Chains A and B, each alone.
Chain A
Amino acid sequence: MLARLRSLLRGLFRRDTVEAEMREEFRHHIELRAADLVREGSSPEEAQRRAHLEFGHAEGHRETARASRGLKRFDDLRFSWLDFKLGFRMLVRYPGLTLMGGVAMAMGIAFGAGLFEFVMQWSRPELPFAGGARLVGIEVRDTETGGVEPRILHDFARWKEDLRSVEELGAFRLAGRNLVTGDGPGEPVLVTEVSASAFRLVGAPPLHGRTLLEDDERANASPVVVIGHDLWQDRFGGRLDAVGTTIRLGGTQATVVGVMPEGFEFPHSQNIWTSLRFDPLEFAPGEGPAIYLFGRLAPGASLELAQAEIETLGFQAAAAYPETHAGLAPRVVPFPELVHMPAPGLFNPEFLFLNLFILALVVLLCANVALLLFARAATRESELVVRSALGAGRRRIVLQLFSEALVLGGVATVVGLMGAKYGYEWFLTAIEGAEGPLPFWFEPRISPTTVLYALGLTVVGAAVAGILPALKVTRGVAASLRESTAGGGGLRFGGVWTLVIVAQVALTMPLPAFTYFALDEMAGVSRLHVDIATENFLTARLELDRDLESIAPTDLFDPNNAFGGSGLESDSAFLARYASNLDELERRLLAEPAVRAVTLVDRLPLTYHPAHQVELDEGAIAPPDERGHRISTARIEPNYFEAFGVPILVGRGFDSEDVISGARVVIVDEPFVDRVLGGRNPIGLRLRYIAIERAPPPGPDAPWYEIVGVVGDLGMENGYGRGGVYHPVARGENYPASLVIHLSSDPTGFSTRLRTLGAEVDPTLRVESLTSLEDIANGEEGIYAWGVSAVVLLTFTALMLSLAGIYAVMSFAVSRRTREIGIRVALGAKPRSLLLAIFRRPLVQVGLGVLAGAYLLGMLSHWMFGGITLGQMLLVAVYALVMAGVCLLACVVPTRRALGVEPVTALRAEG
């Protein structure tokens, strides 16, 4: 055993020495034999010749010797440079196949790698600075509600002193402010008020000027800001004298002291920073601004250690301040989790499913390439037979075809990775366009891990595309050799290929249907029908600067905060100021000649609304599922419908009396009437809420509301469909409220005017998310367009490939029957019966595939969309016809050729 192992290892790792010794031994043998022959009377030349002849074929002996050392198995798995050279030659020789197969593999790899990169950046973010992995956040959760408690200024001050395992502890908060850099009304920005330690943590030197310092945090220091590169370019044209200029942030003047380099964003995607200046002594525990804490794990400290330490400090705080801290649990989390929703873990089912999907896609695409390569390999049968005869083993040939597929895959991978980079960039842009900015660690780059992943996909793809057909072909070759013919009928298209073709047709069947569905969905989104003429409406969210916002006015953080999603701690003085600002703004707006009407609402039409569950006292139809009737709500001012110019269809509208008296009356829309009441007249019926999204259930004492009117469909949308309830509210009850201005002309020109009017009313009144209703209606389309284009592109490739593969294999199968056709013609067969005989099998294969595909499609449609539409059915029928057409075409060309051949020639033909 030991001897064998030693001999094997020597053969593997000292191959050159072993080979040289073998050659030397053979030479020595032949020399001695030749000397003997000379002694027996031969001439030296004759002796040499005979000695060689007697010794036999040296390479053959060497081959046997290698096998007897157990090296053959390893040799068979060795790629030779020649295989790859041959692979490249094949790429050039069959440009059509190269293009078709290469594009298919590249698409699969691009799609897979791009998706993988996104998931990696989401679930395992790499922060782009030294020690990024040690950056942590500290969040405090309310154990009862599960929400985040952000009013932790007190804890911050204490932890700064006591916490040993986290160093450079800092805090930030986000505050919306109007930024005024010159003349004009300015624009709202999200300012990061942050501890100076942030800049030390990320180790980013400023491009110009300086970063924030601890001294800037003193109460009597003059306010300073540091701006990001993009802002510097936009607002200051990249001028060097930007440092030192004074700007205004809301009601505060501040000096620009530094400009950060390009790409620097912190903590999420912000690019303007000012000092966080709050004195913890001014606030009682559990009060103060909403802040977020971050720091770096101290040398030698782990996340677990830091967690243990912070828990201990949490217990101490709970003992010291039971009223405010009893139910609070502080946690140390990796920094990305603090500012971005955590991704599913790498091993959770969703992620595995995604990987399986990618793998299945690549395998499917490569199975098509396999069909093409098989057809090509089949035409090279003679070459393979000759190679076999020259002593190449089956494994050798399979390996050769595998390396050819690898070469194709390699080229495809390079192209695919480039495609992945651009596709990913496009994808990020689409997401940011639809969902707002992503955190700074999402970069359109392809990491080494993703490259490895892509290479793995390539090997899998090449194995599918190269090894499968190779195994099939080499089996045929063995048969050819046994029959002593070169390329004579050794290859048969047996049950396996029938299965492959049937599976191929079946699997591609649902693709067009799903594309159709995606397009339909897309059209649905872009056609979002509303009973409003959306052209002449300008909308904006109105916010007011406030020192103690309880939650950042963005979706950056978990909206499910300690305040039940209300967004703000109620403060009547603040809301009164807000309401009077709105009154003044409305007055000025209505004085503008272009303005027809102004109204306010908590959520705009065609945007997302939370879904609440309602019940009616009578008349409601059975809900679709156990989640009950999920409907949207909007809190509107009494003139809302008037401002939109939509009529009350049944019953009455709201008036100011409803607001003043606090009457519990509501108006519902038509989709609500259809969904919840099956079209019955709702006037006089009562409804109440039994579940409210992101809030504790209202319980049995929930108030009843009377339905007094019905309006058309104004685009109240939630994940469950249209349909909603309108509640009347007084001005100032919605914060932040969305403003809707009905103009007499195109709204885009009015934006600046609105900002100016807002600034005149109050410099701290911020006009956020200024957009026309038209753009809101079109806004959803970006991400859909991306998804749909990707799906269409992939589907198209898969279809083309599938058709090309089926065509190649079928036409090859028919052309193999040239001889048979010739003989039948010679024997007087009628062309019709001949055609039937030829076409029967391909048509049966495609027919089976179509049936299997239709069944698969039916199941999938039922499972995903609860049924199949007429449009989809038509599409499937058309596709089945196309398939049949391709199949016929594949058979016609070789059949015509075969029918035109003289029987004598046919008999000589291969096959």
Chain B
Amino acid sequence: MLIRIIKNRLFLGAIVLFSIFSIIPLFLILFFIFKNGISSLDFLFTSQILNAIVGTFILIILAGIFSIPLGILAGIYLSESKGRLVYFVRLCVEVLQGIPSIVIGIIVYLLIVVPMKGFSAISGGFALGIIMLPVIIKSTEETLKLIPYFLKEASLALGVPYYKTILKVILPAGFSGILTGILLSIARVSGETAPLLLTAFGSCFMNLDISKPINSLPLLIFNYATSPYSDWISQAWGASLILVSLVLILNIIAKLVVKKWKIQF
């Protein structure tokens, strides 16, 4: 009997220990970024970091223009329709989500960069958009499935046409879930680097022309972190601090959105 109790205790101890150990890298990373990043933040306006921040925002906006409307529409399609084709589309979304981002980079490189004869912000935005797409589709579909059926029935019973029921009743009811999906997908792609190596490529200058190469925070971190110059490396730490803060803020906003506009009936 005693042995069984001891085993039970030992097991719990091991579980707690392993769990704590797996959180330690998180603190180490955050500590490193904070310690090394904070001292280089005064570089901010005299260095490349500002270009990279602007570039990151431009890329995200370009990606959103393409992927947000399409993602929401496809999400509605998946939640509203039935049949073999829907099953197949869902499978495609699943596969799309699993494609390594570097492979998406290759595709956009071949389909846009090569015909356009040069790296550009547009191609970078397109690559990020493809990565955002499945996340938005899935969150839209899952949110819309949670909305009670009587809402739709009530609207249809009042004689509201189907498309208006979807656009004016169902979509607003699922607003928080869809917005959360969009925010999380932005958080995900704002740290994406691999596809940008083949598309946006990076640039040393402030650039607002979307047909030209553009810099972004992850690209700057990659290029500067692997350089041999110590002041570039310290700028990379500063950029990391900004990027991690950006991602964290987006995640927190997403959580607040869920809390504030929770689906309640």
Chains A and B come from one and the same complex: no
Chain B residues close to A by CB (< 8 Å): none
Chain A residues close to B by CB (< 8 Å): none
